[in-house]
Structure 1
Amino acid sequence: MTFLFFFSALGAFNGFLLSLYFAINAKKKDFTNYFLSLLLLVLSVRIAKSVFFFFNPDLANIFIQIGLSACILIGPFLFLYLKSYTAGGKQNWIKHVVPYLGAITILGYFYPYDEHIVLWSSWILKAIYFQWFIYIVLSLTYLRPIIQKLKEKESLKRMDFWFLSIYLGVAATWLAYTTAAYTSYIVGALSFTFVLYLTVLLLIFRNSTETAISIEKEKYKNKEIDKETLDSIDQKLSIIIEKELFLNPNFSLEEASKELKLTKHILSQYVNEVLGKSFSNLIKEYRVEKAKKLLETEKNYTIESLGYDSGFNSKSTFFTAFKKVTGLTPAEYQKLQSK
């Protein structure tokens, strides 16, 4: 039993370290990393409370209250993390964080845990776990493209595995805590396994050529691209649009570099540093522009078929990308154009 909770303590400690890692490596104005950092932080606080309480049943009630209160932010930070990466743009995080933080603070002040243990155990904690569950369900919306890939038996990217790991880990932790009467000791082992798994994934993906786990723009060690090369790349990129190379659902950075007669490194650096986006997002924008033209001119096509004709390989990726770029669904955009 002691051995099991030793690993639980190690999981909580590693969780704090991972939280610090993502906070430090977060780019300015990029909330994605901060949401992940805060998610790991509140998870670690909750797990740490369980560990200390196990070793010391006489633990001060204020620490128990803090540990339980942290749960109210786990769901919102999971939701905001997945949404910020999938939907992009500025996230209205205030309405998902401040009301809950204010409510649990006020509640804890007027009804402190040490004076109202029964109230916390029977009602407040159940309400917190229910709110956590609601956000788990809401977060599932931003995993639809990945779920669609699984249904269509498409290969998953490393980032897909990362998001699934985060989501399933948080969901499994919720399940373990809500059934703690039967799985109290499993929570400790689960927390350690979850954090250890994320650590291993981070180490594996660290040198990946795909998008970094920390959701930062790729860093380049070479010197800045000279102006002549910049102008040349700018002109060459138009070839992708003119030839509509992006209509190929499998069009990749490697294929683009061959077509434009550029190295993958230079092309990737240009797109990331000059255009301020990833290559995959650039291609998605090209496809969305194509879809917009089709929506404006074609009346006999279904919206789903227009997505495929624009280069998207599934309905879900088309709808997600279109909404991210335009702020509207394809149907809403078509309706707006018909007025």
Structure 2
Amino acid sequence: MALVIRIGKSVFFYFDSGLNENYILIGLLGCAAIGPMTYYFTKTQISGEKTFDPKSLWHLVPMVFLAGYAIFYESYGENRAFWSTKIVRGIYNYWGVYLLYSLFLIVRQRLILKQRFNEDGWTIGVVLGVSAIWIAYYTSSFTSYLTGSLTFSFLVYLLAWVLLTQRKQVIAKRRAKTNSNKPLGTVEKGKLEDKIKAVLLDEEHYKDPNLTMPVLAKLVGQTPHQFSSFINDQLNQNFSQFISGYRVEAAKKMLVETPHLTVEAIGFDCGFNSTSTFHTSFKKATGHTPAAFRKLTSSL
């Protein structure tokens, strides 16, 4: 709001140099509030404290002093030269001090403390945008009086575009999450099962003892959340049980077809990372230990 008041005054004054001095005073008061408001916004975003602290009002004391000076001592119209140089430059310096402190709070939080805070990207964008407007006004004597207004307009459009883009991304993520929670149809389930079998059996990824659920999910073109939901909800298994099933089936085949290999060697070759894990998983799936299973099948 303080920025809007200041920008509005600048535009009106540019096109009407005889603008009523009360409007000019309102614009300068708004300008004096920009720095403290930016600081308070930054502090609130970092702390997460949304309740208003009455003690913060002391930051606006210069506004009260400025209004009192204009009303009771010397108005803008009575001494334009003094107001346009000393007062305005003092307001810009006051604004700049609060900007520097706002930037310091952000740098300390992100780079020194290495902590993120609420909507940090948006907060940084706002503070940098206000800083750009401050630079435009501070250097307007070398460029144009409307530079600040034009900078403000550009930043409004830019921030609006950023907000719309972020909103679209949030909506897309929500839709993706919603879709990932939907149970797969018969056709989709069959296709995914075929893809998993191709990756695990044809490419023999089940033999990797370090295979994890996120890695396998990526191999079959699913997010970890989608793949985990498929295993848990569609197959009623956890990942450990799921991958162990493939390893046990491979071990059963090797126990029959490769009698020259030891039980331990077969377990490691099938992806089990220890003999005890191999024995436990195999017995749970078949009701027999690997050695007993080999003996039983060899007698058939």
TM-score, length basis structure 2: 0.50
Gaps of at least 5 residues in structure 2 are: 172-223, 229-300
What displacement does 1:207 show?
5.5
Equivalent residue, structure 2, for 1:278: none
**Aligned partners of 2:14, 2:40: CA distance in 1, in Å?**
31
Q: Does structure 2 retain, via aligned residues, the 8 Å contact 1:75–1:135? A: yes
Equivalent residue, structure 2, for 1:202: 163
Structure 2 residue 39 is matched with structure 1 residue 76: no
SS of 2:18's equivalent in the other structure is coil
SS of 1:182's equivalent in the other structure is coil
What displacement does 1:140 show?
1.4
Equivalent residue, structure 1, for 2:19: 59
Q: Choose 1 or 2 for highest CA Rg.
A: 2
What displacement does 1:165 show?
1.4
Q: Does structure 2 retain, via aligned residues, the 8 Å contact 1:45–1:67? A: yes
Q: Does structure 2 retain, via aligned residues, the 8 Å contact 1:48–1:67? A: yes
**Aligned partners of 2:160, 2:109: CA distance in 1, in Å?**
22
Q: Which runs of 4+ in 1 moved over 6 A?
A: none
What displacement does 1:65 show?
1.8
Q: Does structure 2 retain, via aligned residues, the 8 Å contact 1:173–1:190? A: yes
What displacement does 1:172 show?
1.0
- Once the two structures are superposed, the pairs formed by residues 1-339 of structure 1 within 5 Å of their partners are 41-89=1-49, 90=51, 91=53, 92-97=55-60, 99-110=61-72, 111-144=74-107, 147-148=110-111, 159-184=119-144, 185-206=146-167, 209=170
Task: Kindly report the root-mean-square deviation, in angstroms, between the aligned alpha carbons of the 2 structures.
Answer: 3.1
Residue type of the alignment partner of 1:167: V
**Aligned partners of 1:166, 1:158: CA distance in 2, in Å?**
13
**Aligned partners of 2:159, 2:127: CA distance in 1, in Å?**
11
Q: Does structure 2 retain, via aligned residues, the 8 Å contact 1:158–1:205? A: no
What displacement does 1:142 show?
2.3
Q: Does structure 1 retain, via aligned residues, the 8 Å contact 2:46–2:118? A: no
Pick 1 or 2: higher relative contact order, CA cutoff 8 A, min separation 6. Answer: 1
Equivalent residue, structure 1, for 2:246: none
Q: How has the CA–CA distance of structure 1 residues 145 and 134 changed in structure 2, closer, same or farther, with 3 Å as cutoff?
A: closer
**Aligned partners of 2:32, 2:47: CA distance in 1, in Å?**
23
**Aligned partners of 2:133, 2:62: CA distance in 1, in Å?**
20
**Aligned partners of 1:157, 1:117: CA distance in 2, in Å?**
44
**Aligned partners of 2:169, 2:109: CA distance in 1, in Å?**
19
C-alpha deviations, 1:39-94, integer Å up to 9, x for none?
xx110111111111122222112211211221110000000001011123344322
Structure 1 stretch displaced more, 192-201 or 181-190: 181-190
**Aligned partners of 2:157, 2:117: CA distance in 1, in Å?**
20
TM-score, length basis structure 1: 0.45
What displacement does 1:204 show?
2.5
SS of 1:115's equivalent in the other structure is coil
Equivalent residue, structure 1, for 2:237: none
**Aligned partners of 1:157, 1:95: CA distance in 2, in Å?**
26
Residue type of the alignment partner of 2:25: Q
Residue type of the alignment partner of 1:82: T
C-alpha deviations, 1:287-334, integer Å up to 9, x for none?
xxxxxxxxxxxxxxxxxxxxxxxxxxxxxxxxxxxxxxxxxxxxxxxx
Equivalent residues, number: 169
